[in-house]
Structure 1
Amino acid sequence: MTFAQSLAPRLLAATAIMALGLAACDSGNNDAAEAPATPDAAVAGATPDTPIEDATQSTETTLTIVSWGGAYTKAQIEGFHKPFSERTGITIQSEDYDGNIAPIKAQVESGNVVWDAVDVETAEAVRLCDEGLTVPVDHSSLPPAPDGTPALKDFLPGTLFECAVPISVWSNVFAFDASNYPETAPSTLDDFFDLETYPGKRGLRKIPKFNLEFALMADGVATEKVYEVLSTPQGVDRAFAKLDTIKDEVIWWEAGAQPPQLLADGEVVMTSAFNGRIFNAQIAEKQPFEIIWDRQIWDLDLWVMPKGGKNLDAAMDFVSFATSTEGLAGQASWIAYGPSRKSTLELVGTHAEYPDVDMKSHMPTTPERLANGLQNDFEFWADYNDELEQRFNAWLAQ
């Protein structure tokens, strides 16, 4: 896929997600454009017309489902794993990882695939498919919406990929402990880079993705120009130069559970984080954390199935349930990530454990939060990740 081919779906996705946010605020109808058709490459042996409840693998099958751990995996266990196992008798073994897709490549190439379905980010989903490491999916076989709308029309446009099925919209944001700022609290991306006004340690994820974009936006690059600038050597230099201004004050994190812990322990005064992890700390742990939504970078999480898996039929049944209208609503009642299906919105209400918490109001997909946000460019990172990762690691070692 070329950049030009991917641009239109991405714009449609942004428009549809904006519509989703509007609906979240006023409960109106979502009239987003239809999703583009995708290749009809079905998973071998899949039987889409068979109800999930009638799956034949039952108790003889154990699926290893891999995700990001912490509050996010808890939401998936409650929303996906438990109801799926109750309906099918299939056992789910949950495993955490840090987003590194090297184990998938190693498993496929060795012929010893032990991960049945993996939750990945968009760029990694594209790379894995391009390298032939994950199986294609026939999206027309996925469950329709409750009103009969086909899955191809129900998923947000531009979110379906040849070898992946979208789960949710999540966001990279900045967060701080409000108790540290009784008077003037930070409120913008620029404040994160302002060590004079807001001194103290910062937390950043130990990868180039997102950090380079944040750096350019903080240096004055408009959101719509970020990837155009970052695709040039001068733009890369500019991003690293901006990161240089805070490098000595950065504590690097790798797992999603670390940012709220860094804040709680007082090791940092501000940190980048996944919005859902901060939400969980706010609601479940009663932490006085606040989110800076200014110029958030939003992305998708998607299910992929490694090629050569021993339980592909059962894995496809799981993915179908975990991306159904009902399944996505289950996850959305536990964590503040926007569902990837339009039909799920009307099912999203209050938190499963805290009924006074309106989940829609905490989603990254509200209009005001999307207004100056940046959608992660999966094509850019699929093309430039290796090169920029080498540059990033060399920069860290300096």
Structure 2
Amino acid sequence: MKSNTLKHGFFPLILTFALGSGGAQAAPDMVVVGYGGAGQKAQDVAFFQPFSAADGSKLIQSEYNGEMARIKVMVDTGSVDWDVVQIEGPDLMRGCDEGMYERLAWKTIGNADQLIPDAVQDCGSAALVWSVAIAYDTDKLAQAPASWADFWDVKKIPGKRGLRKRAVYNLEFALLADGVKVEDVYSVLSTPAGVDRAFAKLTELKPYIQWWEAGAQPAQWLASGDVVMTSTYSGRIAAAVQNGSRLGVVWPGSLYGMDYWAIIRGSRHVDQAQRFIAFTNQPDAQVKYVEQIPYGPTNTLAAARLDSKLAGWVPTSPQNLMGALPMNVPFWVDHGEELEERFNAWASR
């Protein structure tokens, strides 16, 4: 970014891998935490190593599964071992209101006008546009699913299904499977009767569900035959296809939204963290990232430079947005905690 002077020279990136509890110990260098797997490998190539080299600063890498409780403990105790985290929209908004994240200095970060709508937030900068969709192995499934109704139809397509072990995404998909139109999903889900309807539909499928928590699991389960189809982040499937897997994605009925970079309140590396966020917003860096794993870029200049074949895997491509559902972030900010509590109680029964 023009607002920051980048030093030239190479400083090796320090990598730490989450072991046991996965927590990074207090370190003198900035710690960036992502979701692991192919997505974080792409970030390493496009963001972590180039930023470390350009900025002349060291960076430690770790991973998690989005556990907000861990971040809250750090902030509440004043023992902040992480600095920058990749985080989903509703968790960012809720945590920002609760004072868990630093307010970003957008005048310092710069180039906010190049970013897509909603990418610029008080406590976050959009890292990517993701999509959660149905995926299946084209070699193992003779009849491809076309909708969430097919996903729920165990007579038409027998076998286990993979779903993420959270209320978010699944309640929307359950209503789509039950015949609710895309444009009506959140108006239905905003009523007690609509929530009951979504949980009732999930209960129908519950005996056939294999729950995933890490983003790498769906593609692995499809490859091993553990599930016949699964919800998954589209970029994970694109990466698997690039590596030779014969997997397919069902775009109609997919749900899309953004992950963000946020700086944990109490970080000892706020200035470096903001330089990192500025670096990841640059068009060159984002094009390089999408070339590694085809999630949607957040910089409009990067989107305009994508190869057409690559753009076919990007969630924000016009053909992939047809029949897709944008995540209603305010809904999940307002209702996420209560719905996740209800979901956890339901899933444990």
Same fold (TM over 0.5): yes
Query: After the TM superposition, which residues 290-369 of structure 1 pair with which residues of structure 2 at under 5 Å, given as runs?
Result: 290-349=248-307, 358-369=309-320
Please point out which of 114, 129, 133 is paired with 1:173: 133
What secondary structure, in the 3-state scheme, does the structure 1 residue paired with 2:153 have? coil
- Equivalent residue letter for 2:120: L
- Shift in Å, 1:132: 0.6
Q: Distance in 2 between matches of 1:373 and 1:50?
A: 38
Aligned to 1:277: 236
Q: Distance in 2 between matches of 1:346 and 1:388?
A: 38
- Equivalent residue letter for 1:239: A
Query: After the TM superposition, which residues 1-398 of structure 1 pair with which residues of structure 2 at under 5 Å, given as runs?
Result: 49-53=3-7, 62-143=29-110, 151-182=111-142, 184-284=143-243, 286-349=244-307, 358-398=309-349
- Shift in Å, 1:256: 0.3
The answer as to whether partners of 2:147 and 2:177 remain within 8 angstroms in 1 is no
After superposition, what is the alpha-carbon deviation per residue over 1:307-328, rounded to whole angstroms, capped at 9, x for unaligned? Answer: 1101111111111101222221
When residues 384 and 281 of structure 1 are mapped into structure 2, their CA distance, relative to the original with a 3 A threshold, is: same
Return 5+ residue gaps in structure 1 as ranges: 1-46, 144-150, 351-357
- Shift in Å, 1:200: 0.4
Q: Distance in 2 between matches of 1:156 and 1:232?
A: 31
The answer as to whether partners of 2:136 and 2:249 remain within 8 angstroms in 1 is yes
Q: Distance in 2 between matches of 1:188 and 1:86?
A: 45
- Equivalent residue letter for 2:254: Q
Q: Distance in 2 between matches of 1:329 and 1:264?
A: 28
What secondary structure, in the 3-state scheme, does the structure 1 residue paired with 2:90 have? helix
Say what the alpha-carbon RMSD is for the aligned residues: 2.0
- Shift in Å, 1:58: 11
What secondary structure, in the 3-state scheme, does the structure 2 residue paired with 1:128 have? helix
Q: Distance in 2 between matches of 1:152 and 1:317?
A: 14
Q: Distance in 2 between matches of 1:288 and 1:48?
A: 43
Aligned to 1:34: none
What is the number of residues matched between the two proteins? Answer: 335
Q: Distance in 1 between matches of 2:343 and 2:5?
A: 47
- Equivalent residue letter for 1:153: D
Q: Distance in 1 between matches of 2:163 and 2:49?
A: 33
What secondary structure, in the 3-state scheme, does the structure 2 residue paired with 1:173 have? strand
After superposition, what is the alpha-carbon deviation per residue over 1:299-358, rounded to whole angstroms, capped at 9, x for unaligned? Answer: 1011000011011111111111012222212211101101011011233338xxxxxxx3
Q: Distance in 2 between matches of 1:54 and 1:255?
A: 36
When residues 85 and 161 of structure 1 are mapped into structure 2, their CA distance, relative to the original with a 3 A threshold, is: same
What secondary structure, in the 3-state scheme, does the structure 2 residue paired with 1:180 have? coil
Q: Distance in 2 between matches of 1:225 and 1:366?
A: 23
Q: Once the two structures are aligned, what percentage of the paired residues are identical?
A: 38
Q: Distance in 2 between matches of 1:52 and 1:121?
A: 29
- Shift in Å, 1:48: 7.2
Q: Distance in 2 between matches of 1:372 and 1:180?
A: 26
After superposition, what is the alpha-carbon deviation per residue over 1:31-87, rounded to whole angstroms, capped at 9, x for unaligned? Answer: xxxxxxxxxxxxxxxx973312279x9999622110010100001000001111111
Q: Distance in 1 between matches of 2:145 and 2:190?
A: 30
Q: Distance in 2 between matches of 1:58 and 1:73?
A: 17
The answer as to whether partners of 2:42 and 2:292 remain within 8 angstroms in 1 is yes
Aligned to 2:22: none
Q: Distance in 2 between matches of 1:86 and 1:349?
A: 27
Q: Distance in 1 between matches of 2:179 and 2:159?
A: 23
The answer as to whether partners of 2:109 and 2:275 remain within 8 angstroms in 1 is no
Aligned to 2:16: none
TM-score relative to the length of structure 1: 0.80
- Equivalent residue letter for 1:51: T
Q: Distance in 2 between matches of 1:139 and 1:347?
A: 25
The answer as to whether partners of 1:173 and 1:292 remain within 8 angstroms in 2 is yes
What secondary structure, in the 3-state scheme, does the structure 1 residue paired with 2:116 have? coil
- Shift in Å, 1:89: 2.2
Aligned to 1:28: none
What secondary structure, in the 3-state scheme, does the structure 1 residue paired with 2:129 have? strand
When residues 397 and 58 of structure 1 are mapped into structure 2, their CA distance, relative to the original with a 3 A threshold, is: closer
- Shift in Å, 1:152: 2.8
